[in-house]
Amino acid sequence: MAQQAYVTETDSGGSEPDRGESGLRRLPGRLVSGWRGDPRIWRRGIVLAAVAVVLALVMGLHARIPNAIGNLGSLIETFLPWLGLLIPVLVLLGLVRKSATALIAVLLPAVVWLNLFGGQLSDKTGSGGDLTVATHNVNAENSDPAGTAQDVAASGADVVALEELTADAVPTYEKALASTYKYHSVQGTVGLWSKYPLSGVRSVDIQLGWTRAMRAAVTTPAGQVAVYVAHLPSVRVKMEAGFTARQRDKSADALGEAIADEPLQKAVLLGDLNGTMNDRALRAITAQMRSTQGASGSGMGFSWPASFPMARIDQIMVKGIEPMSSWTLPETGSDHLPIAARVKVDTSAS
């Protein structure tokens, strides 16, 4: 009997993995097996279905959500991709509730999310290009400006834009970048470093009273390009005021006008726009320029905050130029991640 008990225990233990694996394969069937013949699967989960429909409407009609109250529309648009995290939660709750109605309704937000962001799940990175650009909000409180400058230069960028420069830190950045970039200009709190000659350098008025944007013509081997560097005002989320972005919106309109008046046909915008491409407040810019991340990047390309990126508020945008690839660079001493892109200036060779 003892031997028989031993054999039985051994057989049971030996067959355990097989039963476990087959159990996993049968799990979906088990989840719905109790639903057969249950008419309540269509009546349960009505609230979940309603939430799914509302979620689909919020994502699909985000541009129609008014900004009149606390800039709610812009706030939702800033973090719009993250609404997709609610979809698997709704699926799980629908399974727990055994609600066919809820599960069918969840298809609506899933389709809308994929329509909005599904293209960013694929790798659109291409080869080629004749100019590499990078931009970085270096953070005024950066404790290692020299290291940050060297990290950005290591990207191999031909043109580098830096934002949130302080007067005390500018000499450090200039010294750290001098060996790589022969030409540079600092205007207020933004600067541009280039391997190619700069001309027509000037500050750009974005209605702040001090300089946080500039323009320069860069003479690249593939042709002349107008490069804009901008750091739009920060936005805040306050309980009493909501998403406060009035000054950012005003500056975005002014920057959009300056770019629209640019005499050169080819232009690049580098900078911290404190807004995503979905934010209607940046329409004066996004209506005339393309995001390199959306056209040639891989993934969402979130750049802020550096410790756990949740939004793409740092941008590289182009007009009259073909984006080939876009990527984020490793974390530096800043609270933003630097971003870079490879573009084709000479589009006649396409």
| C-alpha distance from residue 60 to each of 30, 116, 219, 334 (Å) | 34, 8, 42, 34
Q: Give the pLDDT of residue 75.
A: 87
The full DSSP string for 320-339 is SSEEEEEEEPPP-SSSS--E
- The tens digit of pLDDT for each residue in 147-182 reads 999 999 999 999 999 999 999 999 999 999 999 999
Q: Do 188 and 210 touch, CB atoms closer than 8 A?
A: yes
pTM: 0.84
For the chain, the average pLDDT equals 89
Is the separation of the CB atoms in 313 and 297 below 8 Å? Answer: no
* The pLDDT of residue 245: 79
C-alpha closest to that of 225 among 293, 161, 179? 161
Positions of the chain with pLDDT under 50: 1-17, 24, 239-242
Question: Which pLDDT does position 25 carry in this prediction?
Answer: 58
* Strand stretches in 169-212, DSSP E: 183-187, 190-194, 198-203
Q: Given this model, what pLDDT does residue 31 score? A: 58
Per-residue b or e along 183-214, where b marks 16 or more CB atoms closer than 10 Å to that residue's CB: bbbbbbbbbbbbbbebeebeebebebeebbbb
Q: What is the pLDDT of residues 32-62, one digit of tens each?
A: 666 766 778 888 999 999 999 999 999 999 9
Q: What is the pLDDT of residue 13?
A: 47
Output DSSP code: residue 51: H
Among 326, 228, 314, CA closest to 274: 314
| Residue 69 exposed, middle or buried by CB count within 10 Å (0-12, 13-18, 19+) | exposed
